[in-house]
A and B are shown apart, each in its own frame.
Chain A
Amino acid sequence: MQTVIVGLIIAAAAAYLGIRAYKLWFGTQQKGCEKCAVHKEQSNS
């Protein structure tokens, strides 16, 4: 059971990093700085 939970947590961490990287380079919404409002706005325009 513990092995399954740990496996799921590791898979979730890897998936999170993958999605973040994909969104950063290929997505429209940019995050990661103090002006997130600017990025969100730009993705809408």
Chain B
Amino acid sequence: MKKVGLFGNPNTGKSSLFNRLTGLKQRVGNFPGVTVDKQLGNLKFGDETVQIIDFPGTYSIYPRSKDEQVVYKVISNPSHADYPDLAIVVVDASNLERNLLLFSQIYDLGIPTVLVLNLTDVASKNGLVINLDQLHVHFPNTTIVRSNARVGLGMKELQEAIAVLNDSEKTPNTTESIPLVAMDDLIAQSADTTTRFERIKRIVADVVVKKENPVSQHFSSKLDRWLVHPILGYVIFFSVLLVIFQTVFSLASYPMDWIDMGFANLAEWTAATLPEGLFSRLLTEGIIPGIGGVLIFIPQIGLLFFLISILEETGYMARVVFIMDKLMRPFGLNGKSVVPLISSAACAIPGVMATRTIQSWNERLTTILVAPLMSCSARIPVYTLLIALVIPDQQIWGFLNLQGLVLFGLYALGLVTALLVALVIKQFFRKSSERSVFLLELPAYKAPRWANVGLEVFQKVKLFVLDAGKIILAISIILWALASFGPGDDMEKAAAAVIAPETENPIAVAAYEDQVAATKLQHSYMGILGKTIEPVIKPLGYDWKMGISLLTSFAAREVFVGSLATIYSVHQESDDPKPLIDRLRNEKYLNGKPVYTLASGVSLLVFYAFAMQCMATLAVVKRETKSWKWPLIQLGYMGVLAYLGAFIAYQLLK
């Protein structure tokens, strides 16, 4: 199969082009560094297929970081399995001078090339007119295509150029091949780059005419005066975050309540319809609450990522990266740590992988170690359930919702802790004299593409439901089994020992049934396990049921809620279906005191803010550091931080 390599500077729209060509749905973003490894996709021409390889963005063939090495390793070795038969080099038409460096390097290797002038809409808005015929004079052996991948402009021409490769043996590039400079010969690389830039300057002066049309530039500059302002920039960013969390809390609560009530009713209906037995109990006490515990968070996750992806699409996230760079430097974090840390606010796994852009090993390791402290989307279900449970739903200063404010505070807590831990690591453990340079080009503001926003929301929700959902469901089934069975006939004996009321007073009967249920649960395998770990978690204000949920959520944080849903459904004889949150509110110790109080709730929130409860992230850290040592250290330090933080929170608030 013939191979077509997709190359270009970061944030030139390669991934959008890749998606257009292959029909795949790789993530795109209006900020640099979204692609950190090569991606594969296919393009069909009748019966034949061409493989499209999307390489990470790089400014030059000569690598400065791990992700950029991918390009050099492939392009410098014609016998490499991914060596392209055709190179499509995507350039930002609004910044030809910088982008032509990479193109000229690939062109001079003698590989057949297609030069794609992308972002032509931005170039036009900036008043730039590019003379394609004249550009072709300077690069006669290339096909030049004008495109706008956002709207699909130029795709037909590009496919035709690829089809030429498919029909003939090679698209002719008669350029005499100029060999690459060795990867470690920095002096020769610098000389080569300088010579190329001098030539490119002459070419750009020859082919680009700048008309006076500064409307768009003025608009972007005017906005940037406020959005990247040294003080106002932070005020605006934190206000935007605050508005997002307020919106998430106020709007998502309605559909969440409907879903919660719907599943409670479904469980009741199933119990009434199916014949009584083990299978019916597994469905109503294990599987239905388990699935409900997953689906209830779709509105919040969908809404949060809808708002965040609008910020990304418009180009505002690039400004956030820019201002966060300044914030992070005093804490010893590299400028290039910003993108991994911001990515970790969605999921730590791509965040850890994005650290490949950091050249210095010490700085990369520090970023990997602190990235999971950023609040990821898996924490949302835990945070929102506990906040709704223990934080009063009230307004402060007349317009701020206290629950939304606490959610904002938890995200801020994650960021501040990550910065402080990075500072400690830097000062005491991994001093580094190397300072990596962080270059960031601020893209022009664009109107969001709603198809991309919708795709992002759909993928996030799908990932949560299908990936986390399967684990939650499987754990719910196991928990149900552990809660439903016990050693020998201990459960029955203990239940029989509960004294039945002598009257038929419904309140007394209900109290008796609740006590039988609680006794059975305590004597089940789960109860025995929970009671065993209770002494360790008691100082944090947790009972054994929370302890079991805490244990299961070491697989993934969001399992906590599904586990609670299952635990509180088993042995429940009540005819009145209640949403999980009401069951948790009514949970009391034997002395009548509520289990979920402000103290125990805040303690749990702090625990989840700090604890390393994600097997998938640990596995990625192991792979990226090629050692068991660092994931274990991460698990250890975050565990200690979580335990101490939760202990202090509980002891202060109880």
Residues of A within 8 A of B477 (CB): 9-10, 13
- Asked if B349 contacts A35 (CB within 8 A), the reply is yes
Interchain CA distance A17-B479 in the complex, whole Å: 13
- Asked if A13 contacts B616 (CB within 8 A), the reply is no
Interchain CA distance A24-B481 in the complex, whole Å: 25
Per-position contact with B for A11-36: 1 when CB-CB < 8 Å, else 0? 00110110011001100001111110
Known: A10-B477, A35-B350. A30 touches B277 (CB 8 A): no
CB within 8 Å of A: which B244-272 residues: none
Residues of B within 8 A of A30 (CB): 349, 616, 619-620, 623
- Asked if A2 contacts B279 (CB within 8 A), the reply is yes
- Asked if B475 contacts A17 (CB within 8 A), the reply is yes
Q: Is B180 an interface residue (CB 8 A)?
A: no
Known: A2-B278, A2-B279, A6-B282. A41 touches B38 (CB 8 A): yes
CB within 8 Å of A: which B23-69 residues: 24, 26-27, 36-40
The residue from A2, A24, A38 contacting B39, defined by CB atoms under 8 A apart? A38
Q: How many residues of B contact A (CB 8 A)?
A: 37
Q: How many residues of A contact B (CB 8 A)?
A: 26
Q: Is B602 an interface residue (CB 8 A)?
A: no
Known: A25-B619, A30-B616, A35-B350. A13 touches B478 (CB 8 A): yes
- Asked if A32 contacts B616 (CB within 8 A), the reply is yes
Residues of B within 8 A of A21 (CB): 555, 615
Q: Is B240 an interface residue (CB 8 A)?
A: no
Interface of B, helix, strand, loop or mixed by DSSP: helix
Q: Is B426 an interface residue (CB 8 A)?
A: no
Q: Is B470 an interface residue (CB 8 A)?
A: yes
- Asked if B279 contacts A32 (CB within 8 A), the reply is no
- Asked if A33 contacts B616 (CB within 8 A), the reply is yes
Residues of B within 8 A of A41 (CB): 37-40
Interchain CA distance A13-B346 in the complex, whole Å: 28
The residue from A17, A38, A44 contacting B474, defined by CB atoms under 8 A apart? A17
Of all chain B residues, the one with the shortest Cβ separation from A40 is B40
Residues of A within 8 A of B278 (CB): 2-3, 6
The residue from B36, B467, B481 contacting A38, defined by CB atoms under 8 A apart? B36
Q: Is B463 an interface residue (CB 8 A)?
A: yes
Interface of A, helix, strand, loop or mixed by DSSP: helix
Known: A9-B282, A41-B39. A35 touches B353 (CB 8 A): yes
Of all chain B residues, the one with the shortest Cβ separation from A16 is B474
CB within 8 Å of A: which B272-326 residues: 277-279, 282
B381 nearest CB across to chain A (Å): 16
Q: Is B459 an interface residue (CB 8 A)?
A: yes
- Asked if A34 contacts B346 (CB within 8 A), the reply is yes
- Asked if A34 contacts B350 (CB within 8 A), the reply is yes
Residues of A within 8 A of B349 (CB): 30, 32-35
Q: Is B471 an interface residue (CB 8 A)?
A: yes
Residues of B within 8 A of A10 (CB): 477-478, 481
CB within 8 Å of A: which B385-430 residues: none
Known: A6-B279, A9-B282. A31 touches B616 (CB 8 A): yes
Q: Is B347 an interface residue (CB 8 A)?
A: yes
Interchain CA distance A10-B556 in the complex, whole Å: 20
Q: Is B2 an interface residue (CB 8 A)?
A: no
Residues of B within 8 A of A35 (CB): 27, 349-350, 353
Interchain CA distance A42-B347 in the complex, whole Å: 18
Interchain CA distance A17-B478 in the complex, whole Å: 10
Residues of A within 8 A of B196 (CB): none
Residues of A within 8 A of B556 (CB): 32
Of all chain B residues, the one with the shortest Cβ separation from A21 is B615
B270 nearest CB across to chain A (Å): 14
**4 shortest interchain CB distances as A-B pairs:** A33-B349, A32-B616, A13-B477, A13-B474
Mark A residues whose CB is within 8 Å of B: 2-3, 5-6, 9-10, 13-14, 16-17, 20-21, 24-25, 30-35, 37-38, 41-42, 44-45
Mark B residues whose CB is within 8 Å of A: 24, 26-27, 36-40, 277-279, 282, 346-347, 349-350, 353, 459-460, 463, 467, 470-471, 473-475, 477-478, 481, 555-556, 615-616, 619-620, 622-623
**A–B Cβ pairs within 8 angstroms, 27 of them:** A2-B277, A5-B279, A10-B477, A10-B478, A13-B474, A13-B478, A17-B475, A17-B478, A24-B616, A30-B620, A30-B623, A31-B616, A32-B556, A32-B616, A33-B347, A33-B620, A34-B349, A34-B459, A37-B24, A38-B36, A38-B37, A38-B39, A38-B350, A41-B39, A41-B40, A42-B37, A45-B38
